Amino acid sequence: MISSKGKVRGLVTVTVRDCNGNVKYYKNGFWRRVLRLPEKPMIFKHHNTITNQGDGMIADLMISNPTLTKVDATNGYMRVGTGWTGSTPKNNTGVNTPTGSFKKLDSTFPKTQAAFGSSGQNVVLYRTSFAAGDLNANGINEVALMNGNTSSAKCLAYAQITPAVNVTSADSLQIDWQITFNGA
């Protein structure tokens, strides 16, 4: 008997930059100052959850006449929020507590990490950049990858941002999302 251990998994990288485009750093707390440790950059990586809606969207892509809108260069958006609870991320249909607006994927995304036949051909990359002025929120701790920018949009994937980030109106926020398909 043959069995597959195929998986779809993702990794989200969140980067906060200041008004000059430099990566921001956390100010050191008491112990980090005492131990003379360097400040930590505001770059965070976290795994994501392909949602129930996302499972359906992926299956829909495999049929001869897909009916659902793809998360593509025309219809791909991300939305951030402050309502991560961790209780049922697989069931999420978007962020729990939205902050700011839906933000379209950057112009050259989505794309594969490498050309067909090369290592990385099974990794899809998404990127959204919230420019200075797009956000002004404390405690951003969740993000959703969506197939549109309305209440009827479907959520392909959902992720926690940890630790939560604070983004002022002078800061920018870049979210890089990679989804890897393994059919092993």
Rounded-to-integer distance, Cα 126 and Cα 82, Å: 21
pLDDT, one tens digit per residue, over 107-160 is: 999 999 988 988 888 999 999 999 999 999 999 999 999 999 999 999 999 999
- State yes or no: pLDDT of 27 exceeds 80: no
Rounded-to-integer distance, Cα 127 and Cα 133, Å: 18
- State yes or no: pLDDT of 181 exceeds 80: yes
Q: For 7-21, 26-40, 58-72, which range has the lowest pLDDT when averaged over its residues?
A: 26-40
- 125, 112 contact by CB (below 8 A): yes
Predicted pLDDT of residue 3: 56
- 78, 175 contact by CB (below 8 A): yes
* Per-position DSSP letters for 90-143, written without gaps between them: GG-SS-SSEEEEEEEPPTT-SEESS-TTSTTTTEEEEEEEE-TTS--EEEEEEE
Compute, in degrees rounded to 10, the torsion defined by CA atoms 16, 19, 20, 24: -30
Rounded-to-integer distance, Cα 183 and Cα 81, Å: 32
Identify the DSSP state of 72. Answer: S
Q: What are phi and psi of 67, to 5 degrees?
A: -110, -15
The tokens describing 127, both together, are: 């990127």
Mean pLDDT score of the chain: 90
Identify the DSSP state of 3. Answer: -
Sheet hosting strand 172-182, strand order edge to edge: 98-104, 77-81, 137-146, 155-167, 43-50, 7-17, 172-182, 123-130, 111-112
Share of the chain above pLDDT 90, in %: 66
The tokens describing 66, both together, are: 């897909």
pLDDT, one tens digit per residue, over 33-61 is: 788 887 788 888 988 899 999 999 999 99
Rounded-to-integer distance, Cα 138 and Cα 163, Å: 12
